[in-house]
Amino acid sequence: MKNIQINENGKLKHLLTIEGLSKNIINEIFVRADSFLDSEKNNVKKVDLLTGKTICNLFFENSTRTRTTFEIAAKKLSADVINLNVNTSSQSKGESILDTINNLIAMHADMFVIRHGQSGAAHFIAENINPKIKIVNAGDGYHAHPTQGLLDAFTIRHYKKKFTNLKVAIVGDIKHSRVARSEINALNILGVPEIRVIAPKTLMPYGVEELGVIPYDNFDEGIKNVDVVMMLRLQQERMDNALIPSQEEYFKTFGLTAKRINYANPDCIIMHPGPMNRGVEIESKVADSHQAVILPQVSFGIAIRMAVMSLLLEE
């Protein structure tokens, strides 16, 4: 698969996946995000970098939370935002996805933020439209969720300062998680020496070691001495499909409890991409503890999305 998100000068022209991004490009995004956080500290609530630009949130899967983060980030950059939930619109009239997108481009959309149930959807769109238009993948099937991967890495950088001395554990449904894939890619690129993935066997992908991670099917073992634990959300449908026995059983073996966090390093931070299932993948008091950085992740997510959007759209 050609890396169509980088142009001939090595600059980012879409954000489709973390794979293939250089450490330089990721750092450029982080430095830009830092600048937005600084502006905010100085009470600058809005910048006019994208005045007159139209950003289209095109969601083929419903996700109010993710859509809202992109909407807020775009408005803080002074862009105009169009929200389209495509289930309820012209797709139902039989129009192809490229016709829908090309129509929106003809209406002067400058960027599309795309959430789609099929892996590769954002990539397919980026390859088949006017090359001046920018695509940001906001989650495609089991493939990637690159802004989530970036904001998670940015959060770790904020609390741990550097990546090259860390042990990080990612816990939960590794097999079906685009978030996990994007996190693993980001941490590998940034030089994290030890990435562990912890999951029941039914939720661990075959050959996971090839991603540059160490698999564990025992949480108590896997969490030992880690600096960061990144929980994943448990999807209800995994239970329906009998991949896990029950919520209670899952919580007992793969839930992050106050007892279990004691095996990690004392200054270990706890992350979760949200929305959380309290009492399923994470004990409620752990989610609210001083080690949890779950809400800062969300705030950093706005800065990261502002950074990606402004870097892609600046002339």
Q: Is 310 in the site for its own copies (CB under 8 A)?
A: no
Among 57, 69, 155, 185, binds its own copies (CB under 8 A): 69
User: Minimal distance in Å, beta carbon 20 to its own copies?
Assistant: 29
Q: Is 246 in the site for its own copies (CB under 8 A)?
A: no
Q: Is 290 in the site for its own copies (CB under 8 A)?
A: no
> Would you please indicate which residues are annotated as catalytic (active-site) residues?
65-66, 93, 115, 145
- Tell me the number of residues near its own copies by CB under 8 A: 49
Q: Based on CB atoms, which residue is closest to its own copies, 39 or 265?
A: 39
Tokens found for residue 30: 């982080």
Q: Based on CB atoms, which residue is closest to its own copies, 24 or 42?
A: 42
Residues 215 to 244: which contact its own copies by CB under 8 A?
A: 236
* Cα 56 to Cα 101: distance, rounded to the nearest angstrom: 10
Q: Is 129 in the site for its own copies (CB under 8 A)?
A: no
Closest CA to 112 of 5, 246, 15, 184: 15
Stretch that binds its own copies, among 81-89, 151-159, 184-192, 212-220 (CB under 8 A): 81-89
Q: Is 262 in the site for its own copies (CB under 8 A)?
A: no
Q: Is 127 in the site for its own copies (CB under 8 A)?
A: no
- The per-residue b/e assignment along 71-82, b for 16 or more CB within 10 angstroms, e otherwise, is bebbebbebbbb
The contact set with its own copies (CB under 8 A) reads: 40, 44-46, 51-54, 62, 64-65, 68-69, 71-72, 75-76, 80, 82, 84, 88-90, 93-96, 99-100, 102-108, 236, 274-278, 295-299, 301-302
